[in-house]
């Protein structure tokens, strides 16, 4: 590597971006270490698979959303909180929303995606997405207001029968109890289409046990402040609703979609197995924004598990490129799938194991604890989880 310090700019602090930055900070650099800058518009990292537990007060914000400054303390990674306004690939420059300009030698695109809220009339105005901390806070407040009202029943429609929709439907149904009337709406003929059969069957039973009504082969035509219009086999119904939760789809960040790079039909950046752009050396993409096939030619899904593993390879490959070593093609190791299905119920399939119920709930928590971004945060959260039953017991005795 040249004596002059190289500059690595990582845009987006989700699983892909943050874990790439941490990986780069741990590698043995020869000579002068590069400048590593992580950019995100938020001040906190979000461990998205545990966002459901924030709504039900099972976990606290600091556990699932620690500040970047805390996670990056003691590392050479510089953090800058700002939105990305523009990227000039020819000049190797990134313009930030606060007016700052960053230059780079290597660029990592990890800005993630958003939930498209324009898939039916009224969705943007009246439905809630569930992808960010603000989304979780808004949902908690809406539920609080509904529970404080004099309505006999609280009617909630969850649109999307994928992982997020099913997990959210179970959490909300359990939280509202007998007062809730939860409806899960899926456009196809099956929920959890890409899930292992065991997980799908356990989830279906959990939904049934919680009284969640599942509408398959049903499309959402429109949403208003208090109704949702559904079509099932050419029959249209207008149903009263108090809250609509929208979990369908992922939209690539517009800054990424507008870059002069090769994109897929979904506007993802097409990358080589090394996760480097196919037409722009030195630009890497991962997570939601990457159209990636691994070393075996397998198309990668936009999941947290994939992004975590891609981050290891992006970090290594940037290090290899700057240290004149060969880059490695991404090899995905599928570790299984987990879902929360309530406050003490989950399902897990992977590595030859199938679990459900409370045991799966504990296994899921431990697996996610292991995946927390830093050892210090793992310790803090782990101690908090272990001592919570005792604290609850003492609080109950005091009251």
Decide if pLDDT at 247 tops 80: yes
User: How much is the average pLDDT of 221-239?
Assistant: 96
* Number of other CB atoms surrounding residue 128 within 10 Å: 18
The overall longest dimension of the chain from CA atoms, in Å, is: 71
Domain ranges of the chain: 7-41+82-114+251-322, 123-246, 337-398
Structure tokens at 231: 């079509």
pLDDT, residue 397, reads 66
Residue whose C-alpha is closest to residue 110's, from 306, 296, 294, 281:
306
User: How much is the average pLDDT of 278-298?
Assistant: 95
pLDDT, residue 87, reads 97
> What does the alpha-carbon distance between residue 102 and residue 95 come to, in Å, rounded to a whole number?
7
Decide if pLDDT at 157 tops 60: yes
pLDDT tens across 306-332, in order?
999 999 999 999 999 999 999 999 999
31 band by pLDDT with thresholds 50, 70 and 90:
confident
Which element (helix H / strand E) includes 88?
A: strand 84-88
Length of the chain: 399
Structure tokens at 4: 């002059």
Q: Work out the percent of the chain whose per-residue pLDDT is above 90.
A: 91
Structure tokens at 359: 């045991």
pLDDT tens across 33-75, in order?
999 999 999 999 999 999 999 999 999 999 999 999 999 999 9
Query: Is 317:28 a contact under the CB 8 Å cutoff?
Result: no
User: How much is the average pLDDT of 250-279?
Assistant: 95
Phi–psi pair at 158, nearest 5 degrees: -110, 115
pLDDT, residue 350, reads 86
**Residue with tokens 């989700």, as numbered in its chain:** 14
Structure tokens at 20: 């790439």
Query: Is 107:92 a contact under the CB 8 Å cutoff?
Result: yes
Strands 227-232 and 218-223 come out as: antiparallel
**DSSP letter, residue 288:** G
119 band by pLDDT with thresholds 50, 70 and 90:
very high
Residues near 36 by beta carbon (within 8 Å), at least 6 away in sequence:
8, 10, 21, 24, 25, 76, 77, 78
Query: Is 223:244 a contact under the CB 8 Å cutoff?
Result: yes
pTM beyond 0.75, yes or no: yes
Phi–psi pair at 262, nearest 5 degrees: -70, 130
The two domains 7-41+82-114+251-322 and 123-246 share their CATH topology (first three levels equal): yes
Q: Write down the CATH number for the domain with range 123-246.
A: 3.50.50.60
pLDDT, residue 398, reads 66
Compute the C-alpha angle 275/303/34, nearest 5°.
40
Which element (helix H / strand E) includes 214?
A: strand 213-215
The domain over range 7-41+82-114+251-322 is classified in CATH as 3.40.190.90? no
pLDDT tens across 183-215, in order?
999 999 999 998 999 999 999 999 999 999 999
> What does the alpha-carbon distance between residue 248 and residue 147 come to, in Å, rounded to a whole number?
26
pLDDT tens across 354-385, in order?
999 999 999 999 999 999 999 999 999 999 99
Decide if pLDDT at 2 tops 50: no
Phi–psi pair at 168, nearest 5 degrees: -65, -40
Q: Is 362 helix (H, G, I), strand (E, B) or coil?
A: helix
pLDDT, residue 1, reads 42
Query: Is 49:368 a contact under the CB 8 Å cutoff?
Result: yes
32 band by pLDDT with thresholds 50, 70 and 90:
confident
């Amino acid at each position: 590597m040249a004596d002059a310090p190289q500059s690595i700019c990582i845009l987006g602090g989700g699983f892909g971006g943050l874990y790439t930055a941490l990986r780069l900070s741990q590698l043995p650099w020869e000579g002068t270490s590069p400048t590593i800058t992580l950019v995100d518009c938020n001040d906190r990292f979000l461990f998205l698979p545990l966002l459901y537990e924030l709504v039900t007060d099972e976990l606290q914000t600091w556990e699932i959303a620690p500040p970047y400054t805390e996670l990056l303390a003691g590392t050479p990674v510089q953090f800058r909180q700002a939105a990305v306004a523009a990227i000039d690939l020819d000049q190797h420059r990134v313009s930030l929303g606060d007016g700052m300009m960053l230059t780079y030698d290597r660029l990592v695109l990890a800005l993630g995606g958003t939930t498209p809220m324009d898939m039916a009339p009224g969705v943007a105005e009246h439905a809630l997405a569930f992808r960010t901390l603000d989304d979780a806070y808004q949902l908690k407040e809406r539920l609080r207001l509904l529970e404080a009202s004099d309505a006999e029943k609280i009617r909630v429609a969850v649109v999307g029968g994928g992982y997020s929709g099913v997990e959210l439907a179970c959490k909300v149904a359990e939280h509202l109890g007998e007062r809730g009337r939860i409806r899960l709406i899926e456009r196809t003929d099956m929920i959890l289409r890409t899930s292992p059969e065991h997980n799908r069957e356990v989830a279906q039973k959990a939904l049934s046990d919680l009284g969640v009504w599942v509408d398959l082969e049903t499309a959402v035509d429109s949403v208003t402040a208090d109704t949702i219009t559904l079509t099932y086999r050419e029959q249209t119904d207008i149903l009263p609703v108090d809250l609509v939760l929208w979990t369908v789809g992922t939209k690539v960040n517009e800054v990424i979609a507008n870059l002069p790079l090769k994109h897929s039909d979904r506007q993802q950046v097409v990358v080589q197995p090394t996760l480097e752009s196919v037409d722009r050396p030195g630009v890497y993409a991962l997570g939601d924004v990457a159209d990636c096939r691994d070393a075996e030619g397998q198309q990668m899904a936009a999941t947290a598990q994939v992004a975590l593993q891609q981050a290891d390879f992006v970090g290594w490959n940037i290090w290899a490129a700057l240290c004149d070593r060969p880059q490695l093609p991404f090899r995905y190791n599928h570790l299984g799938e987990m879902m929360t299905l309530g406050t003490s119920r989950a399902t897990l399939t992977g590595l030859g194991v199938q679990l459900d119920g409370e045991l799966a709930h504990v296994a899921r928590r431990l697996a996610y604890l292991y995946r927390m971004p830093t050892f210090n945060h793992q310790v803090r959260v782990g101690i908090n989880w272990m001592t919570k039953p005792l604290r609850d017991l003492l609080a109950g005795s005091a009251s």
